[in-house]
Structure formats: C-alpha cells, structure tokens
Amino acid sequence: MQRLFRLLVLGLVLILLAGCGRATSPGAATSITRNHVIGASLLEGSRTGDWPMFGYDPGHTGFVDPLVHPRTIDGKVVWTRRLSSIFSSAVAGLNLLYIASTDGYLYALRQDSGSVVWRAKLSNSLSDATPALEGQALFVAMYSKAIAAFDAETGQLYWSFSVGEKIQAPPVVVGRRVYVASLSHLWVLDAASGQVIWAFKHGTSGWPSTGSPAIMGNAIYIGLGTGTQLWALNLADGHILWSFDTGDRITSSPLVQGNTVYIATWRGKIFALNRNSGQMRWVYLLNTVRNQNVVDGVGGSMALANNRLYVGDYRGSILCIDALHGRLIWRFATGAQVLATPVVAGGRIYIGSGDGFFYALDSKTGRPTWRYATGEIRGSASLANGRLYVGSLDGMVYAFR
C-alpha cells in the first residue's frame, strides 16, 4: 500500500509540473524528415540591403538605417503580381522576394519584375506563413505544424520538422539556429539538420503564438499561445531568466533594442521592460476612458527608430509613442483597424490598413506623404534594394519604387 501511495503522489506531482514553463527534450509527437543536411557554406547570413526576417532584424525593430537605404519610397508601383489572398509578410534576399499565399504555396518572385522563379507547396490551412532567410536557406511553416528548410534559389526541400502543434508565428534564424514558436513551445533547431537543440514548454490553451521570438545578447524573449507572460530565456539552454505577467493576451512580437524590450497586448497595453531584469519601465494604455463602447487593442507588431515606437490599433489609428517615457507624440487615423506592422526608413513610416490603403507617413509629424489603394493589408512590408514590397488580401503583391 505504501508503494502504491508513493506512486500516486508522484503521478500527481508530475501532472502539476506539466503546466510549468521549462526547457525540455522533444516529445514523442515530434518528428524530423532528413532529406538533406544544409552545408555550412550555404548558411553564411544575409547581405546588406536584404530583408531576411520578420521585423528586419532579430530584435524586430523594423528600422532600416539611412546608410543602408538613404532614399524615400515615392509611391510609384513598379510591378504587381496576382496570387491569392496574402496574410504573410515578405522577406527578401538573393534578388528574390519570398511570400506565402492562401493558395497554399510559398512563392519566390524576382525583385525586379515580380516573375515567379519557383513555388513550393506548404499545404497550410490559412497561410500567414512568413519565412526567414539565412544565406541560401529559407525556413518557413509547412503543413501548419512543421518547420521546413528550402534551398532559397531553387525551392528544393532540405528537411522538415513536425512540432505537433500549429505554427502561426514567423521563425527567426540567428547563429545557425532556427527559433520558432508554436502553441505551447519555443523550439530551437539546428539550421543545418533540423535537429532539436532545446525546447521550452509552457502549458497554455487556445490560439497558437502569433508573436515571433526576439533575440538580443544571451537572451530570447517570447510570449506563448494566449498566455499573458513574457518569458526571457537563456539562449544557450532555455532556462528562465525572468518572466513578466502583462495581465492580458500578448499579441505582438517582442521588440528589443538596447536595454529595453517592448510588448503589446490584445486589449491595448503597451509595456516597456528592462530587458535584463524584466522590471517595468512604463506602460501606455490605449483604453483610458471608462465605459467606452469600443475596446481598443493591438493586433499586429511594432517598429522602433530614434526612440520612437510605432504601432497600429483596432480603432484604425497609427500611433507614435515616446519610447523613453511612454507618452503619445502623434496619432494618425485611418479608415479601419490596423493589424499590420510598420516599417521605418528614410524618415517615413510605411504601413497598411484595413481601409484598403497602404500609407507613407512622415515619422516626425504623422502626416501622410502618399497613400495607395492596395486592398486590406495584414502583414509587414519589406524593403530591399531600393524597393518596398507588400502583399494584400486582394491577392496582389505590390512593388513600390
């Protein structure tokens, strides 16, 4: 009886621990298909002028330095390419543009003409699969529950790894490692082989993670599923450095620059945290009026440049917030909700709205310098080699000069 009692107690302890955040080994539900191992020379990193991942860099600042891109985009369309409805953001490199469509394919388009070089079947049910580019390898969600590596020039599949949970967040590739968030896990894979290096699990339910992990120094920052906690994990082994409870579902990708990490939530809280300790520096509340009929919030991610934070909200506004003190600098109203993510370059903010227009705003004043009717936009634009690229729910990819 004593032996049976001890076994029952042990089983109860294991159940209680199952919901706690921790670094783990891959479970039985995961599997890897090794078609090819990617050679080290093919993982040499991106070139100046590329847009290799969501948010441009591992911190997701969305800011392109004037030394890299000194000119403004004038709003003239160079080419368009019709696919099916597009929820994903594009990445760019190797003179190609990579973007997924709801027809279930990942496309590689020529940057100068928009012609299709190759396409790969992803078979995602609703493809907002934004890829990440490292050297000549492209990493993207496939079959909704796997991460796959392709030859970026030919579309040949190198390997795929099934996580057993839906993937909705864009992957990040840094230092020959692939970082991808699913419903309740953050997975860290070897970019060459797809083998698991470590995985962090936090018990959660509901929608899969929408935010892409952000990386700086020896830490990675992530909010998982419909959870309210932002986790800071050691990059080497996944152990917890700190966590911060926002009290609300985290919808944006973390944005990290310098000693600060920024995060936005579903019901309109924007936090600035000390990235080393998790201590709150400030919080900006979109909902400051009681008993209002519309509850404001953030459905996309943010951009940061020159100590100014840019974000769209459900009410259709694009806001510029003082990143040091959390104070509103300006607000520009579009005609519908803004679920897209901004791009900052050359003194302009480039972002699409649910009102069917793509906007270029002056970063200092918020005044529009031009707008173009594209149809509703949900993703982020990408800027590469002097052109701005964005996909729309009307099924078109637009290239601006």
pLDDT at 127: 62
Give the HSE-up count for residue 43: Cα atoms under 13 Å, Cβ half-sphere.
19
Mapping DSSP to helix (H, G, I), strand (E, B) and coil, where does residue 368 land? strand
What tokens were used for 251? 């919808």
Looking at residue 222, its amino acid is: I
What tokens were used for 380? 């982020």
Distance CA(200)–CA(188), nearest Å, equals: 9
pLDDT at 204: 67
Q: Which CATH superfamily is domain 32-400 in?
A: YVTN repeat-like/Quinoprotein amine dehydrogenase (2.130.10.10)
User: Consecutive sets of 10 residues in the chain, 401 residues long: mean pLDDT of each?
Assistant: 40 39 49 76 82 97 85 92 95 96 95 97 79 96 92 96 92 95 94 96 80 97 93 97 96 97 96 98 86 78 98 97 98 96 96 98 97 96 94 97 90
pLDDT at 94: 95
Distance CA(195)–CA(224), nearest Å, equals: 21
Q: What is the pTM of this model?
A: 0.90
Is 319 within 8 Å of 357 (Cβ atoms)?
A: no
Question: Using CA of residue 161, residue 134, residue 225, residue 25, what is the dihedral sign?
Answer: positive
Mapping DSSP to helix (H, G, I), strand (E, B) and coil, where does residue 40 land? helix
pLDDT at 126: 60
pLDDT tens figures, 154-205: 999 999 999 999 999 999 999 899 999 998 999 999 999 999 999 999 876 6
